Structure 1
């Protein structure tokens, strides 16, 4: 005799909210207080949720409550589902107010300073009614967010790994510049060639785990010095890197768009290869391979059409 089949959607949003509060408090009395309800119906609701999922979510004894491995997973997924529900409700309200779609974008910091806003401005001038949600993070943050579905469109530096769940589109190239202390011998120069960095102390940002593609681009550039450089690893945020430059810990290879960030004691100098060529790295757009939002796909196609037209002119 076959066991009864569980419903495909065993919990409503209220049950998930109750579960999240209990998981955060790990105390049914405090959780019930937060939820403005008494403890017995809360315990009953959690028991029904466990029955619907088919496994215990909490380990209980007289002195403590803790999450089971299944509970840990459900807590992560429940938070995501509630965030998505909030976004869905916001989109529905926006549609009622006349806005057609929301485009959620996460970008690396450098692209947010000029490249991305310029393209979004052009796109939104032709696509009336698009609402934008913008956030920033490292390339790995961007990729994870696109794969996880919390954003529609990512802007990042491609890494060496393949991402089978993503489609990527070229979005231009960013060039490097050099951030130096105002008293450094390079500060008055219009241009510095990479071999001249030999022997210098270099401050880097975004380690390999946070942005493997950007880390590789910096490594390739430093290899072009042709000699040893002293590399100092900073925090993952560019502002920390610039702070170390101001403190004369070293020089920094940074995205050229970051020139827009002014910091006392720090000046920016163009950096080129030994042959005098710009030193650059690629930036891409990323969307999900399946289930990508229409607005995200249209934006990628818009960029590709405009870029191709500019190349033919």
Structure 2
């Protein structure tokens, strides 16, 4: 007979991914596993609990009442477990500031961290790159001290300083009807499907779809796991995307065009940390990051 003791953390992680993405295909892609493996994991979890967790629909899934209860009770379980493992690994190691960034912000983050080290700080910084969706939770759980984050993101329990404003542009295929125009209005792109990166909230989805300043109807394009996927989807004319201009620095834009868009919100790059963090070394790093970005 199945019982809760047979449930493992992997299944909870899979459940949280599906609950977040509301789609098995997107969740499986984000987890790096096949959709069939994810489906088996969720079915096993449902069998252990004895109730369905999701209502399956053709294009998305929604949580059942049981699923909603499980989500409330386990939302931070994976985060707390990861933080506990991180603290155990750090025991006895020299003190350091763990700093997170997304890959497309590597130049900015690297420049700031290098400049911080040039001041001969008492506590060095260790920069690492990972899925930006995990960064706010990592800060809240104490698995990292600081992160370079772009609005919008879940700011609960976090403090942040804006480092700079990065304008966004529309990325379109060279064959797009408007590709030859350097500047367009957002309404000119109303009929184009939009590909967006993985998100954790509806506010983030609206932002990446350019529906944040004022609501607008838009069609989702193919799923994209990262900036490389976005470039490929747009280059093949499958969708357009609204991206930070700095993302295109040093990128080969063969087959692509970037357009200035009137009515498109910018990307705000911040340095963020847990609101209850009091370490002097963290304060020193934040001060350096703010001064270095001026």
Please, what TM-score do these two structures have when normalized by structure 2?
0.61
CA pair 76-243 structure 1, distance change in 2 beyond 3 A: closer
**Is 1:283–2:269 an aligned residue pair?**
yes
CA contact (8 A) 2:112 2:288 kept: no
Q: Which one of 140, 149, 154 corresponds to residue 147 of structure 1? A: 140
**1:279, distance to aligned residue in structure 2 (A):** 3.7
Please, what TM-score do these two structures have when normalized by structure 1?
0.58
* Unmatched 5+ stretches in structure 1: 1-22, 25-65, 67-72, 92-100
CA contact (8 A) 1:191 1:269 kept: no
CA distance in 2, matches of 1:299, 1:127: 12
The more displaced of 129-138 and 140-149 is: 129-138
CA contact (8 A) 1:102 1:133 kept: no
CA distance in 2, matches of 1:216, 1:75: 26
CA distance in 1, matches of 2:175, 2:77: 55
**1:213, distance to aligned residue in structure 2 (A):** 5.2
Q: Deviations over 1:71-104 (max 9, x none)?
A: xx9998676444323334332xxxxxxxxx5221
CA distance in 2, matches of 1:270, 1:123: 35
CA distance in 2, matches of 1:86, 1:102: 13
1:106 paired residue number? 100
1:218 paired residue number? 208
Q: Which one of 101, 106, 122 corresponds to residue 115 of structure 2? A: 122
**1:229, distance to aligned residue in structure 2 (A):** 4.2
Q: Deviations over 1:216-268 (max 9, x none)?
A: 423445776x9754332513322222221122211111121221363575424
Where 1:196 maps in the other structure, the secondary structure is helix
Where 2:92 maps in the other structure, the secondary structure is helix
CA distance in 2, matches of 1:227, 1:166: 30
**Is 1:295–2:287 an aligned residue pair?**
no
CA pair 126-194 structure 1, distance change in 2 beyond 3 A: same
Where 1:248 maps in the other structure, the secondary structure is coil
CA pair 294-201 structure 1, distance change in 2 beyond 3 A: same
**Is 1:137–2:131 an aligned residue pair?**
yes
CA pair 190-152 structure 1, distance change in 2 beyond 3 A: same
Where 2:246 maps in the other structure, the secondary structure is helix
The more displaced of 250-259 and 79-88 is: 79-88
| Rg larger in structure | 1
Cα RMSD between the aligned structures? 3.6
CA contact (8 A) 1:177 1:268 kept: no
Note the 1:215-294 alignment, pairs <5 A: 215-220=205-210, 229-260=218-249, 262=251, 265-273=254-262, 279-294=265-280
**Is 1:197–2:167 an aligned residue pair?**
no
CA pair 147-75 structure 1, distance change in 2 beyond 3 A: closer
* Unmatched 5+ stretches in structure 2: 1-7, 10-47, 49-75
Where 1:89 maps in the other structure, the secondary structure is coil
**1:301, distance to aligned residue in structure 2 (A):** 2.0
Q: How many pairs are equivalent?
A: 221
